[in-house]
């Protein structure tokens, strides 16, 4: 699925103060049409209503919306669950409408989701982003995601994707990490700059 | 998705033909379903607990053009309707000249479609958007069109077969999807004879129109191609080059599939003929443009034909339903020019494969494949390379993989000639109709019994080792994105095999240690062990370096990546050197016995060029790692900062596969930190790794005098070393005092080794 489309260049920028943006957690069916409109309009992949509901019904706590004066300008939709031997968070959709990009709204949305994943004991967070989506790649790079893999012609439009991954510092979840931490005297891994 | 119903509805049991079993009771669910139907609104569904993301994603919204491939959005509902409406007339025009011009447009558009297919779109929406191909029988009265369509179909079949047999197309699986398309029919080369017949008639017509007027009637009783004598020659030529291109292209595909690479030489001839015809095709554009559009009235323009006119008989919406059980993909057919460029590139790639000398030394085979991949070949060329390398479980279909491994392990000559030959004779004895694998297996088994050394266990390990090598060769032919992922995964298998082999070897060796001398078999295994280790590090190196090509590393991660690259290169150099030494040692010992002379050994023990080249890389990797570390330590740039984790997690993620496979042992994030935290620019300038790289590269030139690829590589190394050395000096002098200095890393000379670029902003 798609990552963020947060590139700097925009035709028309909205005038607003960062403090005017209101972030809310998914609050029920009335939010669903807002999310769907944003995603359908901004992302290349088509999703059925079942896909949206799959996410927001099962993980409403991982879905956030950004409002400016009552208008929905951005959203993030995620999930989490077991993946092989890890408990993994997954960012499925992240959208901020063009006039509002480049002002940290996407970063705030995704940071909120990642924090919930971390508190829910996820080991890692993953997502896919188009290799050409420089805005999204820079955003996730700043958050500590690495480009783990490249997926050849992943999207319907024929563009490759990067699978991005963020590993949380939690040695007891990874036996290999734990072992390594012990033998290297690398005990509790500290987090840098997490507010 | 309906809200879960908490209220349990109990329903009356009804009589049923099928009796209820233990713990099950038949119940009438109609009232429940009726109630649910009344409650359900748009977009809701009743589902079980196992309703997954995949199920949700598989749902399509009917009549949503982004999702519903089956939506009626074309002009016609069916192929028959399109034909009845006159979308694909046969002949294409009652006017003979227009008919020929339109056939040429069909041919050109088909070529563009074919290239678009090869580039990753579905066959159904590209080549088979041609209504003539969808109803091939209709074209039979029209020899020209019919023969062209037939050879296109045969070519598609040949290409699908080579790609699907390779079974490494994975993410490119759309390519071979041909469900519902009329691809069946001729499997033989029947289409060639019909093309030949048409070609011959065209030749005679060309000949006739060029002959002096007086002779014309005498020479030929042949009807001209069309009615306009001024256009006869040009049109004959335009058709001829198109037909001949198809013919040679099909021939070359057949030649390339001949067993054991026997058709490669002939294939090259067809490739050069194809390239020649491709040039004629390109040149025919001027002529066709001049006559094309004036010949039809109100012709629509198109980029996909030489004439620039829209072709008749195509509809890419007709097949959209058969394309794939997935949402429709946007298809932009390549332009005619781009299609010609694509085929030129494909032919050049195939020519490189055909001119390969079918090396038996694995090292050279791997080198060839890696060099070939640098050209970024598309799926079809890669599939043909794979089909050549691995046939019937043997290298080129003739060299048993076990022999390839023995050769790669630099086995002493004595062993090769004596034992393996002997066992080969035995192998022929046991060769029945069984699979090649069982024969190789028996071969090894017999071999081990024969040499009274090894147990059944070891032959098992060897068997899977051969499978690993075959897999490796296959993987190396895939697209680099998938290749890297697969290489990461197989690293562990190679490591496990090594450990198993070593374990068994030690056990066997202990049992045999009573014997006076190491026997041939233990010697063989010792050599193979060395090779397995070397090969594993080679895979690790390829895995790491492909990360650069795929743009997987960010500049903040370069430091750790170069450091790990350095560690792997050191190990690879060590293992390669050991293997080469072991190979020459045994040979020398034997030679010495014969001559009983004491030659000065110092000269023979100089480091082999292959190892020295690795040393060059080692210097570059270490130099870059240390330079980047110093920049971080002193200038505080390129530091990985993230709110959620630390550099340790990035290290573990990037090198997970290597760490899991213990490549190498005792290497961890801590070792990386220990090596890099003390790095400072002033020390690096004095002990300059780049200068070492430069020196070795200069010395090596004489060793690779006859290898232009290696010489080019050495020149790149020199450039990188020189530039980084200068950059290091500049940064050391003014980096700390000049805050306007911008330092970036670029890959302008080499795909993996960066050059530091220093600019004042």
Mean pLDDT by 10 residues, chain B (761 residues): 45 60 84 87 76 78 75 80 94 94 97 95 92 95 96 95 83 80 73 94 92 59 86 96 98 96 97 98 94 64 90 87 65 94 98 96 95 95 96 93 86 57 43 42 47 53 81 95 96 91 74 56 79 96 97 97 98 94 68 47 71 97 97 90 93 96 94 95 92 96 90 96 96 83 94 94 75
State whether A193 and B643 contact (CB < 8 Å). Answer: yes
For residue B301, give the DSSP letter: B
pLDDT of residue B215: 58
| pTM for this prediction | 0.86
Residue to mutate among B329, B486, B643, with most A CBs inside 10 A, is B643
Q: Please, which residues bridge with residue A130 across strands?
A: A161
Nearest CA in chain B to A191: B645
Do B495 and B503 form a contact (C-beta atoms < 8 A)? no
For residue A178, is pLDDT > 50?
Answer: no
SS percent in chain B: helix, strand, coil, step 5: 65, 5, 35
HSE at residue B630, side-chain half, CA atoms within 13 A, is 22
Contacts of A148 in chain B (CB under 8 A): 552, 653-654
Give the integer Cα–Cα distance in Å for B656 and B498.
19
A55–chain B nearest CA distance, Å:
8
A189 vs B484: CB contact, 8 Å cut-off?
no
* Confidence (pLDDT) at B438: 46
Residue B595's pLDDT is what?
47
Per the CB < 8 Å rule, is A118 touching B644? yes
Of A51, A162, A195, Cβ closest to residue B56? A51
Q: Residue A146 above 50 pLDDT?
A: yes
pLDDT in tens, A59-68: 999 999 999 9
Strands (E), B144-212: none
> CA A94 → CA A78, A107, A123, B276, distances in Å?
9, 10, 21, 51
Closest CA relative to residue A162, chosen from A147, A174, A173: A147
* B393 touching chain A per CB within 8 A: no
CB A191 to CB B644 under 8 A?
A: yes
Please report the pLDDT score of residue B4 as a whole number.
Answer: 42
The reply to whether residue A152 touches residue B172, judged by beta carbons under 8 angstroms, is yes
How far is the alpha carbon of B203 from chain A, nearest alpha carbon, in Å?
A: 43
B677/A contact by beta carbon, under 8 A? no
- ipTM value, please give it: 0.84
Alpha-carbon separation of residue B467 from B260, B390, B404, B725 (angstroms): 19, 11, 12, 45
Taking contacts as CB-CB distances below 8 angstroms, the residues of chain B near A158 are: 120-121, 329-330
Please check the confidence at residue A33 and state whether its pLDDT lies above 70. yes
Residues of A in contact with B484 (CB under 8 A): 149-150
* Subunit contact A190:B646, Cβ cutoff 8 A: yes
Model pLDDT, residue B183: 86
Buried b / exposed e along B120-133 (16+ C-beta atoms within 10 A) = bbbbbbbbbbbbbb
Q: Is B371 on the interface with A (CB under 8 A)?
A: no
User: Using CB atoms and an 8 Å cut-off, which of residues 60-99 of chain B contact chain A?
Assistant: 60-61, 64, 66-67
Compute CA distances A57 → A27, A36, B6, B747, whole Å: 10, 14, 16, 47
Is the predicted pLDDT of residue A22 greater than 50, yes or no?
Answer: yes
Which positions in chain B touch A146 (Cβ < 8 Å)? 552, 554, 557, 650, 653-654
Q: By mean pLDDT, which of A6-15, A44-53, B561-570 is the weakest? A: A6-15
Alpha helices for chain A (secondary structure H): 32-42, 49-58, 105-119, 134-142, 175-183
Residue B450 buriedness (CB in 10 A; 0-12 / 13-18 / 19+): middle
What pLDDT score was predicted for residue B335?
Answer: 96
For residue A158, what pLDDT is reported? 83
């Amino acid at each position: 699925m798609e990552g963020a489309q947060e590139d700097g260049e925009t035709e028309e920028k909205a005038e607003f103060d960062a403090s005017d943006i209101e972030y809310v957690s998914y609050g029920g069916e009335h939010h669903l049409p807002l999310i769907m409109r944003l995603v359908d309009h901004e992302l290349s992949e088509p999703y059925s209503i079942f896909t949206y509901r799959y996410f927001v019904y099962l993980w409403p706590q991982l879905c956030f919306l950004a409002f400016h004066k009552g208008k929905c300008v951005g959203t993030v939709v995620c999930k989490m669950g077991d993946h092989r031997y890890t408990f993994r968070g997954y960012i499925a959709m992240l959208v901020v409408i063009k006039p509002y990009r480049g002002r940290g709204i996407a970063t705030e949305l995704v940071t909120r989701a990642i924090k919930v994943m971390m508190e829910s004991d996820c080991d890692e967070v993953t997502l896919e982003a188009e290799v050409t989506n420089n805005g999204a790649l820079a955003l996730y790079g700043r958050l500590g995601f690495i480009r783990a893999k490249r997926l050849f012609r992943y999207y319907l439009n024929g563009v490759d994707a990067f699978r991005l991954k963020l590993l949380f510092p939690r040695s007891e979840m990874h036996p290999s990490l734990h072992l390594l931490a012990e033998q290297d005297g690398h005990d509790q891994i500290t987090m840098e700059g997490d507010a | 998705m309906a809200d879960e119903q908490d209220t349990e509805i109990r329903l009356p049991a009804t009589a049923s033909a099928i009796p209820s079993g233990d713990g099950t009771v038949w119940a009438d669910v109609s009232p429940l379903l009726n109630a649910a139907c009344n409650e359900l609104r748009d977009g809701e569904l009743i589902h079980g607990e196992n309703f997954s993301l995949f199920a949700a994603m598989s749902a399509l919204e009917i009549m949503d053009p982004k999702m519903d491939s089956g939506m009626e959005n074309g002009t016609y509902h069916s192929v028959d309707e399109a034909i009845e409406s006159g979308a694909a007339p046969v002949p294409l025009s009652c006017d003979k000249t227009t008919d020929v011009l339109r056939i040429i447009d069909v041919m050109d558009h088909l070529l563009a479609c074919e290239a678009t297919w090869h580039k990753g779109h579905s066959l159904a929406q590209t080549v088979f958007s041609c209504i003539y191909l969808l109803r091939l029988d209709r074209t039979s009265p029209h020899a020209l069109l019919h023969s062209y369509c037939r050879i296109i179909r045969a070519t598609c079949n040949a290409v699908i077969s080579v790609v699907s047999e390779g079974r490494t197309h994975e993410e490119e699986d759309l390519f071979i999807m041909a469900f519902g398309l009329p691809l069946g029919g001729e499997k033989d080369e029947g289409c060639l004879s019909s093309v030949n017949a048409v070609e011959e008639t065209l030749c005679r017509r060309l000949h006739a129109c060029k002959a002096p007027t007086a002779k014309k009637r005498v020479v030929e009783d042949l009807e001209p191609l069309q009615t306009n004598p001024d256009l006869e020659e040009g049109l004959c030529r335009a058709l001829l080059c198109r037909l001949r291109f198809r013919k040679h292209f099909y021939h070359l595909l057949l030649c390339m599939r001949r067993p054991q690479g026997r058709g490669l030489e002939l294939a090259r001839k067809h490739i050069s003929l194809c390239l020649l015809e491709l040039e004629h095709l390109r040149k025919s554009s001027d002529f066709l443009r001049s006559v094309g559009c004036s010949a039809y009235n109100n012709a629509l323009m198109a980029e996909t034909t030489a004439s620039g006119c829209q072709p008749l008989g195509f509809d890419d919406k007709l097949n959209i339903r058969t394309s794939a059980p997935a949402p429709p993909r946007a298809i932009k057919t390549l332009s005619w020019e781009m299609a010609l460029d694509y085929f030129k590139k494909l032919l050049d790639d195939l020519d490189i494969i055909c001119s390969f000398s079918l090396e038996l030394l694995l090292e050279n085979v791997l080198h060839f494949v890696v060099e070939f991949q640098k050209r970024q070949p598309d799926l079809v060329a890669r599939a043909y390379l794979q089909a050549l390398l691995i046939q019937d479980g043997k290298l080129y279909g003739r060299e048993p993989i076990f022999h390839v491994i023995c050769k790669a392990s630099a086995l002493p000559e004595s062993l090769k000639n004596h034992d393996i030959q002997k066992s080969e004779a035995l192998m022929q004895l046991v060769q029945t109709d069984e699979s090649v694998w069982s024969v190789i297996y028996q071969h090894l088994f017999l071999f081990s019994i024969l040499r009274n050394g090894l147990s059944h266990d070891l032959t098992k390990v060897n068997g899977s080792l051969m499978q690993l090598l075959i897999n490796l060769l296959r993987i190396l032919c895939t697209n680099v994105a998938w290749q890297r992922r697969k290489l990461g995964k197989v690293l562990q298998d190679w490591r496990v095999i090594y450990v198993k082999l070593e374990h068994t070897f030690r056990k066997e060796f202990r049992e045999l240690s009573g014997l006076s001398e190491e026997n041939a078999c233990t010697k063989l295994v010792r050599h193979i062990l060395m090779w397995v280790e070397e090969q594993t590090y080679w895979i690790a190196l390829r895995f790491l370096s492909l990360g650069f090509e795929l743009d997987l590393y960010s500049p903040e991660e370069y430091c750790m990546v170069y450091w790990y690259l350095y560690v792997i290169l050191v190990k690879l150099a060590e293992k390669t050197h050991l293997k080469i030494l072991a190979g020459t040692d045994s040979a020398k010992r034997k030679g010495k016995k014969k001559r009983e002379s004491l030659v000065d050994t110092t000269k023979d023990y100089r480091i082999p060029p292959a190892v020295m080249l690795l040393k060059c890389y080692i210097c570059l990797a270490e130099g870059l790692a240390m330079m980047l570390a110093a920049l971080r330590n002193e200038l505080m740039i390129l530091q990985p900062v993230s709110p959620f984790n630390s550099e340790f997690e990035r290290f573990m993620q990037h090198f997970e596969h290597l760490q899991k496979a213990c490549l190498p042992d005792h290497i961890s994030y801590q070792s990386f930190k220990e090596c890099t935290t003390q790095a400072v620019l002033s020390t690096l300038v004095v002990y300059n790794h780049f200068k070492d790289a430069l020196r070795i590269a200069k010395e090596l030139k004489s060793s690779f005098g006859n290898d232009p690829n290696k010489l080019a590589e050495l020149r790149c190394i020199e450039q990188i070393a020189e530039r980084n050395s200068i950059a290091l000096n500049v940064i050391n002098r003014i980096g700390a005092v000049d805050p306007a200095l911008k330092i970036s890393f670029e890959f302008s000379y080499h795909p993996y080794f960066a050059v530091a670029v220093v600019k004042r902003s």
